[in-house]
Structures are given as structure tokens and as C-alpha cells.
């Protein structure tokens, strides 16, 4: 009899422990990732076209690595050429593109009113040994640059006319050495709205801006879609020619780590309204894009990654199916949880989960009802995590932009 009572208590203990854990997890996640006022970009009003240039404005060299970016490059470069800042150059590094990217760049150079600001550096398809594509392209771009500041940005971004002036002003006022803006995500399709909030959840959980901006914390990250760095700091570190940066697939993350480790000031702020990005188009691109970074971009080592593999279904899928799990696991000896109790547990867990996801969707401008697709997003990202780790650990490698990485076979 005593044994039966002991067994009967365990299912209820596990259920309500999970409920408390779920509520606590999403509450802590919100407290950890909610941006503070001081972590938002200071937007300067647009500058009148007739205003006179300032002779004190430092020269900024904007460097854009581009490989087969015919869908994006025109929009990106035009937005950069139409900045209301008066002292900058745009350097596009065409990294062996085989599509229409070179022709578009030639056309912009010849026809745009500010085409004289545009410099195109053309590379072949072969990479030097020990280099990854993007660090190599940025490295060669800096060799053509004359600015006191470097701005590294991606070809799939769009820049508001006042973003360069606003970000440089704030970086100077705050005495930042590396100043980076979080981009607004453009999410027009179903799969964008299902999967990208889950990806955003993962990144902000691992790299919350509060810790990134805390000089006493070792947590560091930057957004390669908008990374502004002092030239003297970049060169003092050795730039992307630095041995541990040459072959990185995480050019922004690893550069930020080096900057912070060396005692320079890192600032990561929300740039919504100033810079936006359309990262992927379609499910296939989303899957392959995150598969490339899901395993190697995690901090905490393989043990923490294994914990994520176990934890992701528990926090994203299980809360929607508690009554079913209770029914399937009931036995005569252990299983005295009735349907009403399981529904109450489900309601509490889903309240916490959906409240957080609805808040997250609001930040990303995704309709609130996509929150109910949280388990689908969790299942999809579980697949991405599994495949990413398998491809890296087995040495089969991942493909990106027609190049193989982590291939040791």
C-alpha cells in the first residue's frame, strides 16, 4: 500500500514540476531578452538635401561582400549610395559571382547619381587555403578602404537614409569601438513567420544584448548585417587576417569576441527602422541557412548542445500535448492524474508559452496567431539541429554559396 502511494505521487510530481519549469523558463527568457531603452538606436531626423557637408565628418568605408546576390544587390547598394551622410565610400567585393551580380554593379556605377562613391573589387572563385569566403572578401575590401571607420554589411540588407549618420553619431558619443545594429527582419512568407521567430528566440537566449553590452560579461556577439568598427581597432587586432578569424563561418560573432576579449568597447543596439534584412527566400533556404550555423554557432560546447536537443521539444512541443501524454502513460499503478488536472496544467503552460511568443511576434511584426505554430517551429528546428550536428561531427560538411565547409572526409 505504501509502495502504491509512492508510485501514484510521481506522475503528479513530474507534471507540476514541468508546469513550474515551463512558466519559469519563459518568464526568465523574457526578462533576459527584453531590450532596454539604452539598448536601442538613437535615430537622427533625416538631413535636408541642401545642408552643407561637415568638414569634421570622419570618412566611413562601407564594405559589402557579395556572392551571387542578383536578387538583393541592387536594393542594397542603392540604399547605401543614398545615405544622407556626406563622407563615405561603398566598396562591394564581388566574390566570384556567376550570376548577374557583376552586370548590376557595373550598371549602378555608370548610372546612379552617386555612382562615383562605388568601388567594385572582383575576386575569382578560388579561395586561398585556410580562408572562408566572407572573411576573405571583407579582408580584401579593407585593403581598398581609406576610412577611419569600417562598416561591414550584407548584400541582402536595406539601409534607411539616416542610418549611417545616426549610428556613427551614437558610436562616437558612446565611445564604442565596435558598434552593431540589430536588423529588422523582413518576413513576408508563411515559413518566414513560422521559423524565424524561433531562430530569433534561440539567438537572443544565448546572446542577450544586456550581457553583450556589459563589459564585465564574457558574452559577445555582433550582427554582420551592420557592423561598424574603428579602423585602428580592426587593424590593431589583425583584422580577418588574424589566424582564428580567417576561416570562421561566424565572422561577426568571432570578431566581437576578439574585440571584447581585448578590452575594447562593444555596443549592440536595436536598429529597427534603420536597417532591415531579407535573409532567406523559401523553406529550403531557411533550412540550409540555419543548418550551416546551428551546431557550430552554439556556445557552451557539445554538452550544452545535447541539452538543447533534449530541451527544445520539451519547451516547444510537449505543452500542446500534455493531455494526450497523460492518457498514453496512465497505468493502474501510476497514473491518477485526471483529465481536468491535465487540462489545467496545459492551460498554465500554454499561457506562459503563448504570452512570450506573442510578445516575440510583436517585436518581429508577425501576426499574433502564428504563436500557435510554435510546436511546428520547434519540430523543424529540432531537425535542423540534428542534421547540422551530424554533418559537422561526421565530417561530411555543409554547403554554403557553392562552397564546402567543415568537410574532413
The 10s digit of each residue's pLDDT in 298-353 is 766 677 788 888 888 988 998 888 877 777 666 544 456 777 888 888 899 999 99
The verdict on residue 77 lying in a domain is yes
Q: What is the CATH number of the domain that holds 181?
A: 3.90.550.10
Mean pLDDT of 101-118: 96
Question: 326 in helix, strand or coil?
Answer: helix
* CA 120, chain centre distance (Å): 27
The percentage of residues in the chain with a pLDDT greater than 90, rounded to a whole number, is 65
Q: Does residue 239 sit in the same domain as residue 342? A: no
Q: CB burial class (10 A; 0-12, 13-18, 19+) of residue 261?
A: exposed
Q: Find the helix or strand (DSSP H, E) in which 331 lies.
A: none
Report the side by side order of strands in the sheet with 275-277: 157-159, 275-277, 184-185
Choose among 103, 156, 97, 74: nearest CA to 401: 97
Q: Does residue 159 sit in the same domain as residue 130? A: yes
Q: Does residue 365 sit in the same domain as residue 313? A: yes
Q: Find the helix or strand (DSSP H, E) in which 145 lies.
A: none
Q: Does residue 68 sit in the same domain as residue 119? A: yes
Binning pLDDT at 50, 70 and 90, where does residue 293 land? confident
Choose among 283, 178, 190: nearest CA to 224: 178
**Half-sphere exposure in the Cβ direction for 129 (13 Å, CA):** 0
Mean pLDDT of 205-210: 90
The verdict on residue 13 lying in a domain is yes
Q: Does residue 313 sit in the same domain as residue 212? A: no
Q: Give the model confidence (pLDDT) of 249-266 as tens digits.
A: 889 999 999 999 999 999
Mean pLDDT of 229-239: 97
Q: For the chain, how many structural domains are there in total?
A: 2
Q: 301-316 and 2-33 are packed helices; what angle lies between their axes, rounded to 10 degrees?
A: 100
Q: Where are the beta strands (DSSP E) in 160-263?
A: 178-182, 184-185, 227-230
Q: Give the model confidence (pLDDT) of 24-53 as tens digits.
A: 999 999 998 888 888 899 999 987 764 555
The verdict on residue 89 lying in a domain is yes
Asked if the model's pLDDT at residue 11 lies above 80, the reply is no
Residues of the domain holding 323 = 2-33+300-388
Asked if 377 contacts 197 with a C-beta cutoff of 8 angstroms, the reply is yes
State how far the alpha carbon of 247 is from the alpha carbons of 137, 251, 262, 286, 301, in Å: 12, 9, 20, 23, 19
The verdict on residue 40 lying in a domain is no
The verdict on residue 405 lying in a domain is no
Asked if the model's pLDDT at residue 288 lies above 60, the reply is yes
The percentage of residues in the chain with a pLDDT greater than 70, rounded to a whole number, is 90
Asked if the model's pLDDT at residue 101 lies above 70, the reply is yes
Q: Does residue 272 sit in the same domain as residue 316? A: no
Mean pLDDT of 287-291: 89
Q: What mean pLDDT is reported for the chain? A: 89
Q: Find the helix or strand (DSSP H, E) in which 119 lies.
A: strand 118-123
Task: Tell me which residue has cell 566574390.
Answer: 95
Residue finishing a domain among 227, 252, 282:
282
The verdict on residue 78 lying in a domain is yes
Amino acid at each position: 500500500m505504501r509502495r502504491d502511494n509512492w508510485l501514484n505521487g510521481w506522475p503528479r510530481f513530474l507534471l507540476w514540476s514541468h508546469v513550474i519549469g515551463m512558466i519559469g523558463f519563459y518568464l526568465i527568457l523574457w526578462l533576459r531578452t527584453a531590450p532596454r531603452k539604452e539598448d536601442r538606436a538613437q535615430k537622427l531626423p533625416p538631413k535636408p538635401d541642401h545642408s552643407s557637408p561637415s568638414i569634421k565628418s570622419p570618412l566611413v568605408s562601407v564594405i559589402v561582400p557579395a556572392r551571387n546576390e542578383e536578387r538583393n544587390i541592387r536594393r542594397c547598394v542603392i540604399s547605401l549610395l543614398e545615405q544622407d551622410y556626406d563622407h563615405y565610400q561603398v566598396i562591394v567585393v564581388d566574390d566570384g559571382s556567376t550570376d548577374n551580380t557583376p552586370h548590376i554593379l557595373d550598371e549602378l556605377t555608370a548610372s546612379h547619381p552617386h555612382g562615383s562613391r562605388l568601388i567594385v573589387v572582383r575576386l575569382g572563385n578560388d579561395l586561398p587555403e585556410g580562408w572562408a569566403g566572407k572573411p576573405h572578401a571583407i579582408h580584401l575590401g579593407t585593403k581598398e578602404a581609406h576610412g577611419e571607420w569600417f562598416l561591414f554589411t550584407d548584400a541582402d540588407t536595406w539601409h534607411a537614409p539616416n542610418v549611417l549618420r545616426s549610428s556613427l553619431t551614437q558610436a562616437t558619443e558612446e565611445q564604442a569601438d565596435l558598434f552593431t545594429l540589430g536588423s529588422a527582419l523582413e518576413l513576408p512568407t508563411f515559413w518566414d513567420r513560422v521559423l524565424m521567430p524561433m531562430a530569433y528566440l534561440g539567438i537572443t537566449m544565448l546572446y542577450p544584448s544586456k550581457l553583450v553590452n556589459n563589459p564585465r560579461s564574457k558574452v559577445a556577439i555582433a550582427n554582420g548585417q551592420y557592423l561598424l568598427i574603428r579602423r585602428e581597432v580592426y587593424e590593431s587586432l589583425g583584422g580577418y587576417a588574424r589566424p582564428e578569424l580567417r576561416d570562421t563561418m561566424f565572422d561577426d560573432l568571432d570578431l566581437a569576441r576578439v574585440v571584447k576579449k581585448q578590452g575594447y568597447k562593444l555596443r549592440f543596439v536595436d536598429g529597427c527602422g534603420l536597417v532591415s534584412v531579407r535573409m532567406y527566400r523559401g523553406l529550403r533556404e531557411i533550412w540550409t541557412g540555419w543548418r550551416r550555423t546551428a551546431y557550430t554557432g552554439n556556445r557552451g560546447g557539445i554538452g550544452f548542445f545535447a541539452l538543447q536537443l533534449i530541451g527544445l521539444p520539451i519547451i516547444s512541443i510537449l505543452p500542446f500535448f500534455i493531455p494526450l501524454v497523460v492518457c498514453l502513460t496512465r497505468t493502474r499503478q501510476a497514473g491518477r492524474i485526471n483529465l481536468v488536472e491535465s487540462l489545467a496544467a496545459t492551460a498554465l503552460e500554454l499561457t506562459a508559452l503563448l504570452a512570450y511568443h506573442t510578445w516575440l511576434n510583436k517585436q518581429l511584426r508577425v501576426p499574433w496567431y502564428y504563436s500557435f505554430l510554435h510546436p511546428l517551429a520547434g519540430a523543424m528546428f529540432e531537425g535542423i539541429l540534428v542534421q547540422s550536428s551530424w554533418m559537422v561531427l561526421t565530417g561530411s560538411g555543409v554547403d554554403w554559396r557553392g562552397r564546402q565547409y567543415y568537410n574532413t572526409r
